[in-house]
Structure 1
Amino acid sequence: MVLRAGQIRVPVLFSHGAMDPRIDISETEIMVQALRANGTEAPFICIPDEGRAWQKLASRLAYYRKQAEFLEEQLGVTEASG
């Protein structure tokens, strides 16, 4: 099944290493823009000095923090309820 950007109605967190040798970052940027244009929340984390996988500990930690914040927001988790 192939979904088009207009069919996606739930928030999607995107991430991309700007130095990815296989997938050009513009592909991710296009998808983010398409979802946002349709009113879908699409936060985008770009890690400028990483490629296909997060090799640096600092990059991984920064990404995991953002991912956790996104999930907490989407799931309605607060400090009191978590």
Structure 2
Amino acid sequence: MRTLAALLALVLVISVSAQYAPTTQSCCEKYTPHVVPADRVESYFKTSSSCYLNAIVLKTVADKEFCVKPELTWVQRIVTKLDSL
């Protein structure tokens, strides 16, 4: 009986720790105020729905990341272009 209780406790600890584990994608604290040139952007990702700001993170060829508003026209063009590649 003790083995079963210990096993259940272990499963509970693992499931709780996995829920709060850090993700590889971070949340944005603020939006970038300037336009990122489309020819410099190589990839993007959307921030998690649990983040305070709804944002798209644009990653450039220089390995820099910029948080931008997803509803901006120039951002939508970049996302559409990258999705078509």
TM-score computed with the length of structure 2 as normaliser: 0.25
Structure with more of its chain in strand, by fraction = 2
TM-score computed with the length of structure 1 as normaliser: 0.26
Instruction: Kindly indicate whether structure 1 or structure 2 has the higher relative contact order, using CA contacts under 8 Å at least 6 residues apart.
Output: 1
Q: Please say which structure displays the higher CA radius of gyration.
A: 2
